[in-house]
């Protein structure tokens, strides 16, 4: 970048400090600025948009992020249902509701077997097919707790279509579907391998354009850096259990601060009173009196000597008085 700037390290530090301030706004109600803790940061895709967008909502009252469910909203909507959504190229989010009547019915029908059954979600790869419940390319199961109503699913496969059942896996291996989800498609994590015939894309040219599209300039190893970055970003949460994968979000890390600070400023108040219709000049500049003839002025007081002549002139101009406070300020 051809920016005419001096010391690069300095810039990084400044920006870091600025960004951390954004984050700090989140965690503590505003007291006063503090020296940010040094902390290693990498640039995450979209983080800047995030910070800027967030600055639109900057207000001093901050509340800690807790998972508070507004109590008055219903816990469910009275239908058996499972929905899946795409979080990114690898991960799905699913939520479901199974009404108690359904559990009762299953209990009645399955008797003993019900109590040995596992509640699972079954994830089907349904790419390029019309799914009929039996023709999936493959599937895998995730056992979920009885009270669980949502789950993050690591599909491991971008560019595939998915469908999920919530149901019971019986001791004898039978699976009973309670509800079946919508079908979603996880987006590709890289460029498509499809190049249409009419518009044959020369490989080398696409490669160069691909790199430039991500702002890597002409020389960078095309696409690789991006994919690496995306993989890092996406996998940052993979080691935590599903559902809290997002705890890896850098914006939510509580930044522990420990740096004592103190700020002291001085201001000077000059006040007085005269006849309400008189004219008053302070340092030669006319000021506005209150209706009762009083006045009050406030100045930021820098170090040094301030000479402040206050001159009052009667309304008829025949009489006048000057009083001159002199203030010396020094800071040690």
* Contacts of another protein in 16-45 (CB under 8 A): 16-19, 21, 25-27, 30, 32-33, 35, 43-45
Min CB(114)–another protein separation in Å = 26
Rounded to whole angstroms, how far apart are CA atoms 319 and 233? 78
| 318 binds another protein per the rule CB under 8 A | no
Please pick, from the candidates 37, 116, 135, 150, the single residue that binds another protein as defined by CB under 8 A. Answer: 150
| Residue 60 touches another protein, criterion: CB under 8 A | yes
Segment interacting with another protein (CB under 8 A) among 105-113, 126-134, 140-148, 181-189? 181-189
Q: Which residue lies nearer to another protein by CB, 278 or 287? A: 287
- According to the binding rule CB under 8 A, does residue 46 interact with another protein? yes
Residue in this structure with the two tokens 């469908």, named with its chain if needed? 163
Q: In whole angstroms, how close is the CB of 256 to another protein at the nearest point?
A: 15
User: Which residue's CB is nearer to another protein, number 80 or number 176?
Assistant: 80
**Interface pick for another protein out of 105, 107, 185, 271 (rule CB under 8 A):** 185
From candidates 145, 173, 217, 291, binder to another protein by CB under 8 A: 217
User: CA-CA distance, 245 to 230, in Å (whole number)?
Assistant: 15
Strand-pair partners of 129: none
Residue 118 main-chain phi, psi, to 5 deg? -105, 140
Q: Could you tell me the two tokens for 45?
A: 């895709």
Tell me, by CB under 8 A, how many residues bind another protein: 115
Subset of residues 272 to 301 that bind another protein, contact rule: CB under 8 A: 283, 297-301
Residues 75-134 that bind another protein (CB under 8 A): 77, 83, 85-89, 91, 93, 95, 97
Beta carbon of residue 181, minimum distance to another protein (angstroms, whole number)? 9
Tokens found for residue 30: 């505003």
Q: Is 57 in the site for another protein (CB under 8 A)?
A: yes
Residue 12 vs 138, nearer CB to another protein? 12
Residue 251 engages another protein in binding (rule: CB under 8 A): yes
* Of positions 130, 194, 264, 326, contacts another protein by CB under 8 A: 194
List the one residue from 156, 187, 309, 325 that touches another protein (CB under 8 A): 187
Q: Of residues 28, 101, 238, 244, which one binds another protein by CB under 8 A?
A: 244
């Amino acid at each position: 970048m051809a920016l005419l700037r001096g010391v690069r390290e300095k810039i990084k530090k400044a920006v870091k400090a600025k960004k951390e301030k954004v984050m700090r706004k989140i965690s503590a109600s505003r007291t006063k600025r503090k020296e940010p803790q040094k902390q290693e940061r990498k640039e995450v895709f979209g983080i800047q948009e995030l910070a800027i967008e967030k600055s639109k909502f900057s207000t001093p009252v901050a509340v800690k992020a807790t998972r508070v469910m507004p109590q008055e909203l219903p816990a469910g909507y009275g239908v058996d249902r499972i929905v899946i959504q795409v979080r990114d190229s690898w991960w799905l989010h699913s939520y479901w509701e199974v009404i108690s009547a359904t559990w009762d019915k299953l209990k009645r029908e399955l008797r003993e077997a019900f109590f040995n059954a596992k509640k699972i979600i079954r994830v089907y790869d349904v790419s390029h097919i019309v799914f009929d419940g039996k023709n999936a390319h493959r599937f895998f199961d995730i056992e979920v707790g009885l009270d669980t109503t949502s789950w993050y699913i690591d599909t491991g496969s971008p560019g595939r279509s998915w469908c999920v059942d919530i149901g019971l896996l019986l001791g004898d291996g039978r699976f009973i579907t309670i509800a079946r989800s919508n079908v979603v498609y996880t987006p590709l994590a890289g460029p498509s391998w499809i190049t249409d015939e009419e518009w044959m894309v020369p490989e080398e040219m696409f490669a160069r354009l691909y790199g430039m599209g991500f702002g890597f300039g002409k020389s960078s190893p095309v696409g690789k850096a991006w994919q690496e970055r995306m993989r890092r970003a996406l996998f940052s949460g993979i080691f935590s259990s599903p559902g809290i994968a997002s705890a890896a979000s850098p914006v939510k890390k509580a930044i522990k601060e420990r740096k004592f600070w103190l700020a002291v400023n001085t201001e000077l108040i000059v006040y007085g009173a005269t006849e309400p219709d008189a004219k008053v000049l302070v340092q030669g500049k006319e000021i506005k009196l209150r209706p009762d003839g009083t006045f009050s002025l406030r100045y930021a007081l820098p170090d040094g000597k301030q000479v402040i002549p206050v001159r009052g002139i009667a309304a008829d101009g025949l009489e006048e008085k000057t009083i001159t406070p002199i203030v010396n300020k020094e800071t040690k």
